[in-house]
Structure 1
Amino acid sequence: MRYHWVITASAAALLAGCNVQTASGDSNTVSAAEAQNARWSNTTKDQLRKAIDGRAAHGLDGKDFAVSGDGDQAMTEAALAYAGALAQGATDPTKLYDVYTLKRPEVDLKAGLQQALAKNDVAGWLNSLAPQDDHYKRLSQAYVALRKEMAQGKAQTQPVVSDKGEAIKPNSTDPRMPQIARQLVVLDYLDPKAAAGDRYTPQMAAAVKKMQSDYGMEADGVIGAEALAILNQSDDVRARAIAVNMERLRWLDRNPAATRIDVNIAAARLNYFRDGTLANSRRVVVGEPDHETPQLASPMFRLVANPTWTVPRSIQKNEIAGKGAGYLKANNMQWEDGWIVQQPGPKNSLGLVKFDMQNEHAIYLHDTPAKALFGMTQRARSHGCVRVEDALGFAKMLAEQEGVIDEWNKARATGEQTFVKLPREIPVRLLYQTVLFDEAGDPIVRNDPYGWNDRVSEALGFKGPASMRVKTGAADVGP
């Protein structure tokens, strides 16, 4: 997305006494005297040019923020454009995705620039606009390091291991093993001393399994097309993926609720924060690629014990139609007012608890009878809703912490659908992040199950892919 501002006068003519809303939410007032001094100087012009020249630190080197001249208006336009990219993102997620409702930063850029000019510190103002957390900083460091290696001609740009031939199983031999071993060493999965010619040794198999697990694959040790894609993934692709994930962080509100639930759709994992501290983390099952879980913000307002499930028309038409009365009876389903409704019980597709959320897309968290799915590495297998591992345990935790455990226990004991309202809403954010960090703090570009990286990468001005997709398998009938 391009940022457009109509500037009809120089920065010195910006209104005095503005209220400046910074990226961190702090509020400051620009005095009339400061406003009078809000002019571009040689120092602030140099600061702006230097900041734009260093935009690779934010993965923005694919975008052109060139200053079109040396005049105040040209400087102001360039400063506002670059500041907008740092503060809110260089792209608009609502235009890249059909559904995107996560809160974005609200920043008064004109007032911020006015104050920066008055203080002769445009560099400091620009530095304050991007996310300040450690995760963003580590992504920045990794991106800069990769780009530096590429500039020096040290980066991997061409496939190293041939993808021709059968899948390689542990304890077999294959002429590609020396190249595979070399890549495993480069990726820090294998000790250089463990390479053993053409033989696929147990030590190498353990390294491959760790790699598969890190990238969200089934950790079976078999080197097939997907494992080879990881081994051959160029540093250019990795760099673009990191840039995309920095952009996604810039889209987000810098001050999320201290008590909240964050679900990383790409990693299929839920993190529960209580009063600013990570209190719990667990696996989830998210939508399969044809039924993506959307990126949205939605408050959880109640727990539902022993929920019923009204089967959506699409599932009713595409997956249940024609199965007959026997199927409905076996799954405790019945017709009610023209809809198929699954009654409460252990076979209910929502399990024994539903976490109701307020949104127009009918997306919520819930339990499931299909517990085996949580043991799979690839967990993009639902129709869009989010299934929670040990959902009953999670519901009990929330009920205890929110002071409604007695009501919750009574509701469960009824065996019928019963609602327990939470005394306060708990914000839920469904996010999409494909770059995680291993125990050593190194970035791992994970599976991009929906292929969502590429569209952001292209919008950031990069050429070529920024994602790796791993086939996940089909969803079951549940939501």
Structure 2
Amino acid sequence: MRLGLIGASLLAMTCALSACEVKTTTASNTQQPAAAAAPAAAPTGWTTTTAGQLRKAIAARGAHGLDRMSFDASAQPGAGDDALTKAALAYGKALSQGATDPTKLFDVYTVPRPQVDLGRGLAAALQAGDVGKWLAGLAPQDENYARLSKAYLATPKWEQTPASAIPDTGKPIKPGEADPRVPAIAHQLVAFDYLDKAAAQGDRLTPAMILAIKKMQADYGIKPDGMIGSAALGILNLSDADRARAIAVNMERLRWLDRNAPTTRIDVNLAAARLSYWRDGKLVDSRKVVVGEPDKETPQLGSPIFRLVANPTWTVPRSVEKKEMAGKGAGYLRANNLAWKNGWLVQQSGPKNSLGLVKFDMSNEHAIYLHDTPAKQLFAEIQRQRSHGCVRVEDALGFAELLAKDEGVTDQWHAARATGKETFVKLPKEIPVRLLYQTVLFDDAGEPVIRADPYGWNDRVAVALGLGTSASYKPAARDADVGP
């Protein structure tokens, strides 16, 4: 089954205006996101009607996965105007910018976020007597956000959620055995991209399912025996609570994003290791990428490509030099086309260069960029979190050719490649790139599909939303090449 790229197709809106304290309310969780100050000139003029509209909107916050958070709008108009304003601005911020701040949740987060004047918007809504309409327009309006909302509302309430969706009887399911749990197992193998949908048939572990199970086991550091035991079930099991938590977190991530995303851009979903290229508002290309390992995560950045680099050289970072090249002799350096230059190890141009034959230079302070790679075999992996942090692009030369054509620099690009030396081709216009993290994709029918959380980044968002944590599994560390 082919899955649409949520990171490439979803638009969201957030705002920069700070809001007031928002408390999470759950039976077992009393986490409180940090408070922020209200605007200096708070809107006034609440009426019984507008106060009722605010309460009605807040009562329906479950449509946005915010039902575990409290926005107190119990005050009455008049003496309680300030309290109503505080609640309206807090809820408005949650809808338009997110109930959490990604720059505080993550060490690095520079993806563009929208600027919305909530104070002015609320004042206008109070004057028009329609606070409900104003609030309804703050959340993302696209179809996929609506699908997530619908799926979240359809999930059973937390208190009714079973401990696990696929029961663990203590007896492993062996290859070839029939078991009533196999259809649910096959469904999750499809969702995780290990199994083709056409092969997910029947109640018996077929050869195709066994192969998929072995691949998954190898990725997660489990003995690849093709049997479904407790460890494999732990990876595949998604209770209704897990599903609801993932959907709510992904809605929150969408609320962080600028709703007016550039019509021409490149989106990379780090969780799914997929790239999407949009041109003039249309998706024109999608391909696999390899991103940072779980302990060398690719950060969530907004950073444009400003030039193509043909036949790039690679200056080895100090961290890689010290950890992975320390003590290497002259033979190793010659074999890998490495030489010292001004105190740095530099790998010369060529097909064996760790950057391959093309680098997509990006403007950011983190030395993160897109590039080719000689390690083509990694694109066949399901879990493609295998780099030192940069993004390796499948058929990077083909992608460079596409960008060069679209930007009108094909002749310059061909001439640069023909030199055989590191040569730069500046793009007439920078192409915005967003490195995102989305663990919910959509299948061909438009239904949400919960994918793996390879960096384990969902929990910190879920906790801030009052949703607690899940028993998540991360892919095991694997030996990787020294490339970025």
Coarse TM-score class (shorter-chain normalised): 0.7 to 0.9
Residue in structure 2 matching 1:97, options 106, 110, 115 = 106
Q: Contact 1:7–1:73 (CA<8 Å) still a contact in 2? A: no
1:11 and 2:43 are equivalent in the alignment: yes
Q: Contact 1:302–1:355 (CA<8 Å) still a contact in 2? A: yes
1:137 and 2:169 are equivalent in the alignment: no
Paired position in structure 1 for 2:298:
293
SS in structure 2 opposite 1:462? coil
SS in structure 2 opposite 1:98? coil
Q: Contact 1:102–1:296 (CA<8 Å) still a contact in 2? A: yes
Cα distance in 2 for residues equivalent to 1:160 and 1:362: 43
Cα distance in 2 for residues equivalent to 1:401 and 1:185: 39
Q: Contact 1:7–1:77 (CA<8 Å) still a contact in 2? A: no
Residue in structure 1 matching 2:368, options 357, 360, 363 = 363
1:80 and 2:89 are equivalent in the alignment: yes
Paired position in structure 2 for 1:441:
446
- Report the TM-score, using the length of structure 2 for normalisation: 0.84
Paired position in structure 1 for 2:116:
107
1:42 and 2:44 are equivalent in the alignment: no
Distance 1:169 1:474, change over 3 A: farther
Paired position in structure 2 for 1:419:
424
Distance 1:309 1:265, change over 3 A: same
Distance 1:2 1:115, change over 3 A: farther
SS in structure 2 opposite 1:474? coil
What's the offset of the Cα at 1:443? 1.4
Distance 1:163 1:448, change over 3 A: farther
Listed one character per residue, the Cα deviations across residues 214-257 of structure 1 (whole Å, up to 9, x for unaligned) are x9999996535564124432110111111111111000001011
Residue in structure 1 matching 2:258, options 250, 253, 260 = 253
Q: May I ask how many residue pairs the two structures share in their alignment?
A: 441
Distance 1:85 1:467, change over 3 A: farther
Paired position in structure 1 for 2:233:
228
Q: Contact 1:305–1:416 (CA<8 Å) still a contact in 2? A: yes
- Report the TM-score, using the length of structure 1 for normalisation: 0.85
Listed one character per residue, the Cα deviations across residues 22-75 of structure 1 (whole Å, up to 9, x for unaligned) are xxxxxxxxxxxxxxxxx2121111111111111111111121112252221111
Distance 1:330 1:257, change over 3 A: same
1:387 and 2:389 are equivalent in the alignment: no
Paired position in structure 2 for 1:30:
none
Distance 1:93 1:475, change over 3 A: same
Residue in structure 1 matching 2:57, options 38, 51, 55 = 51
Residue in structure 1 matching 2:470, options 457, 465, 474 = 465
Residue in structure 2 matching 1:123, options 132, 146, 169 = 132
Cα distance in 2 for residues equivalent to 1:227 and 1:217: 10
Paired position in structure 2 for 1:19:
none
Listed one character per residue, the Cα deviations across residues 87-119 of structure 1 (whole Å, up to 9, x for unaligned) are 101001111111001111111001000111111
Which of the two has higher C-alpha Rg?
Answer: 1
1:63 and 2:72 are equivalent in the alignment: no
SS in structure 2 opposite 1:138? helix
Q: Contact 2:306–2:362 (CA<8 Å) still a contact in 1? A: yes
Cα distance in 2 for residues equivalent to 1:265 and 1:341: 28
Distance 1:185 1:342, change over 3 A: closer
SS in structure 2 opposite 1:304? strand
Cα distance in 1 for residues equivalent to 2:290 and 2:442: 21
Cα distance in 1 for residues equivalent to 2:123 and 2:34: 21
CA RMSD of aligned residues (A): 3.0
Cα distance in 1 for residues equivalent to 2:445 and 2:189: 12
Cα distance in 1 for residues equivalent to 2:252 and 2:128: 28
1:161 and 2:177 are equivalent in the alignment: no
Cα distance in 2 for residues equivalent to 1:67 and 1:288: 45
Out of 117-126 and 278-287, give the one that drifted further. 117-126
One-letter amino acid of the counterpart of residue 152, structure 2 = Y
One-letter amino acid of the counterpart of residue 164, structure 2 = Q
One-letter amino acid of the counterpart of residue 51, structure 1 = A
Cα distance in 2 for residues equivalent to 1:8 and 1:300: 39
SS in structure 2 opposite 1:240? helix
What's the offset of the Cα at 1:204? 6.2
Q: Which runs of 5+ in 1 are unaligned?
A: 13-38
Out of 397-406 and 180-189, give the one that drifted further. 180-189
% same residue: 62
Distance 1:433 1:182, change over 3 A: closer
Q: Contact 1:180–1:231 (CA<8 Å) still a contact in 2? A: no
Listed one character per residue, the Cα deviations across residues 383-411 of structure 1 (whole Å, up to 9, x for unaligned) are 00000000000001111111111110010
